[in-house]
Amino acid sequence: MNTIAIEDSFGLSTCSKQAIAVERGAGSYVWDEQGRRYLDFTSGWGVTALGHAHPVIVSAINAQAAKIMQNPNSGFTYSPVRSRLLQKMQQVLPTGLKRVFFANSGAEANDAAIKLARKITGRSVVIAISGSFHGRTLSTLSVSGGPDNAARYLPKVPDNMFIALDDEDALAQIFSQHAVAAVIIEPVQGEGGVRVVSRQFFHALENLCKHNGALLIADEVQSGYCRTGSFFAVENTGVSPDILTMGKGIAGGFPFAAFAVTDAVARGVEKGDHGGTYCGNPLGCAVAEAVLAYMLNHDVGQQVQVSGRLLSGALKAALKPFSGLVKELRCAGLLIGLQLGSDEQVQRLTQICLDNGLLVTPTRNAVLRIIPSLLLNEQEIEEGVTLLQHSLTQLQNEQNLSVQAKTA
């Protein structure tokens, strides 16, 4: 049996997979087992922020693995690399956020943020935004998508309420009727199809949280670490969250995440409130330290602003002939969504792109997402846009043929 057949036979499949067995990667490219090269415009869902096999990541892993990977008694003991990372993060954390806890995934960081918000406030109501995505643990799933998202796993976590993005009236109404523990929000919805929260809504949200003693949780798992051109997307809003969660690009491919809290939140956290075997493990810390140092030394945020503008400009021009297929282009740095007409179109376009050597991310609500390496260069932008154009032409031709066949 080949790789794909073995995975299909013995893996517990929870999604439909693309028929590609990826063997290695370098920068923005990956190669399959047959040696075919693909341009990766997914970066593993926004994770390989410095591209594949970046030398600073490889050498951080090698060097730290040779020293120590897991502390004796894990988080009960101190670690030089963990303390260096904590200190370095002070340079990038938004004002007011200081204390950091390291986790293993974005969902775990959000789960902990919700858990601590409930504990600190002594309340249970958590407000979330429709179309958001915060992870796949039971509590994060219950604040993702919409009220029915966790219906398969009954009983649902109670007291979660959803409002539409930017709906200030609905937000104010919930606050007037309930004692709210927290509001969890992505400053830019990623899985929701690249939707930027308005500044006005963010400020109204901050005010309501502050006046009512609720905590504002900014989920920057996807939008953080330079993805949208600033280190964290909340920087563009002027809003100060009480808890900020981060993950994905934080360690460029090594499973690692974190959440940062204000001193006021930290004061409400007691011994035993949270923990985990791998939390803050030295290997993850070493990679995160290397990634952060690289991002700061090379001003990756500034690079993303430039390449994001180039990519969105090139896409805008390239998409003109396809206005029947692509209804809208939404861009936030190097987080880009193409709004198509149906999920079927997105699935088909993803497959055609794959056949043409371009990897893109199909996303809910008929959106095709582009989340490339943050170090994407001009030549890769040109190549990616050309491959996308070819793929759209193919999709358009297929659709025209099927319309002709129906009318014949």
Nearer to ligand PLP (CB atom), residue 118 or residue 134: 134
Phi-psi region of 151 (alpha: psi -120 to 50; beta: other; left: phi over 0): alpha
Stretch that binds ligand PLP, among 2-10, 103-111, 264-272, 323-331 (CB under 6 A): 103-111
**HSE (CB half, 13 Å, CA atoms) of 153?**
13
Q: Which residues of 239-275 are buried (b: 16+ CB within 10 A; e: fewer)?
A: bbbbbbbbbbbbbbbbbbbbbbbbeebbeebeeeebe
Per CB under 6 A, contacts with ligand PLP among 24-83 are 45
Give, for 39, the enclosing helix (H) or strand (E).
strand 37-40
Amino acid at 12: L
Indicate whether 193 belongs to the interface with ligand PLP (CB under 6 A). no
Rounded to whole angstroms, the Cα distance separating 350 from 36 reads: 17
| Strands 188-189 and 195-196, sheet pairing | antiparallel
Residues composing the chain: 408
Nearer to ligand PLP (CB atom), residue 109 or residue 208: 109
- Number of residues this chain uses to bind ligand PLP (CB under 6 A): 15
In the list 27, 51, 106, 253, the residue contacting ligand PLP (rule: CB under 6 A) is 106
Indicate whether 349 belongs to the interface with ligand PLP (CB under 6 A). no
Let me know: does 115 contact 142? Beta carbons within 8 Å: no
Q: How far is the CB of 234 from ligand PLP (least distance, A)?
A: 13
Q: Tokens 């709004």: give the residue.
A: 339
Indicate whether 186 belongs to the interface with ligand PLP (CB under 6 A). yes
Stretch that binds ligand PLP, among 105-113, 123-131, 197-205, 303-311 (CB under 6 A): 105-113
Nearer to ligand PLP (CB atom), residue 191 or residue 380: 191
| First-to-last C-alpha distance (Å) of the chain | 44
Q: How far is the CB of 223 from ligand PLP (least distance, A)?
A: 7
Q: Tokens standing for 122?
A: 């002594």
Indicate whether 221 belongs to the interface with ligand PLP (CB under 6 A). yes
Per CB under 6 A, contacts with ligand PLP among 123-142 are 133-135
Indicate whether 228 belongs to the interface with ligand PLP (CB under 6 A). no
Amino acid at 63: A
Stretch that binds ligand PLP, among 89-97, 99-107, 234-242, 314-322 (CB under 6 A): 99-107
Indicate whether 384 belongs to the interface with ligand PLP (CB under 6 A). no
Give residues in contact with ligand PLP (CB under 6 A): 45, 105-107, 110, 133-135, 186, 190-191, 219, 221-222, 247
